[in-house]
Amino acid sequence: IILVTGPTGSGKSTTLYAALNEINDIERKIITVEDPVEYHMQGINQIQVSEKTGLTFARGLRAILRHDPDVVLIGEIRDGETAQIAVQASLTGHLVFSTLHTNDAPGALTRLVDMGVEPYLVASSLEGIIAQRLVRVLCPTCKQEDLSVQTKAIREDIGVQPHEKIYRAAGCELCRNTGYNGRRAIFELMEMTDEIRDMALHAASSGEIRTMARKQGMRLLNEDGWRVVREGTTTAEEVLRVSRDIRKRINVAIQ
């Protein structure tokens, strides 16, 4: 199972569709069960669930597994029944993609256990978890270097080098005076290594799993956000806006 986590509107579905597009070919049988079908993709069987007619995610998932697909996409794991079926599907040789509402990648493990999935099944079925948020991209035409006091404090906290610049939104005709043009995602990718599987098996907390994942090289969501800020792609305000825990880690408030 590969999970994409984040709040509503964080681009989870777009990431999943991009993944399916990468592996979609005539040799793979891909079936999705979604609510609703957001993008129609050629060569993929897509089923839209309907609670009114009784076609839930769990029922739809059971039905498509009878067709022996190679890859399954579940729009969202909403309940324990869907989670159990998704795990069983993965353990019987199907590659499963889905989304889950958690704030970060390690939280997905404990969330599945809270849904009633046994820890040993979580440990054996998951392959990777991506947490993500969307930040607005600065307009390249009008962005300006940010020399404010707040940004100076942020530069010191995140280790910005003297030659690196942090920018702020200004506004021009090309971006309709918003200072931004488009959006992009920031990510937190956690791979299920042997150590993390062992921790999941023994019901470790999300904090303990996060600590281990960081030791193994995982970049936290906010750290990826600061990387994008240092590249000049977005602003510090955007990263602070979409990442809740940053305000706890950095003693700076942007009004």
pLDDT tens digits for range 52-109: 888 999 999 999 999 999 999 999 999 999 999 999 999 999 999 999 999 999 999 9
Q: What is the pLDDT of residue 162?
A: 86
Domain 2-133+185-220, CATH class in plain words: alpha beta
Judge whether 37 and 160 are in contact, CB under 8 Å. no
Beta carbons within 8 Å of 194's beta carbon, 6+ residues apart: none
pLDDT tens digits for range 174-233: 999 999 999 999 999 999 999 999 999 999 999 999 999 999 999 999 999 999 999 999
CA angle 157, 159, 162 (to 5 degrees): 120
- Report the pLDDT averaged over residues 130-156: 94
Judge whether 76 and 98 are in contact, CB under 8 Å. yes
Beta carbons within 8 Å of 115's beta carbon, 6+ residues apart: 77, 79, 80, 83
Please determine, for residue 112, whether its predicted confidence score (pLDDT) is greater than 80.
yes
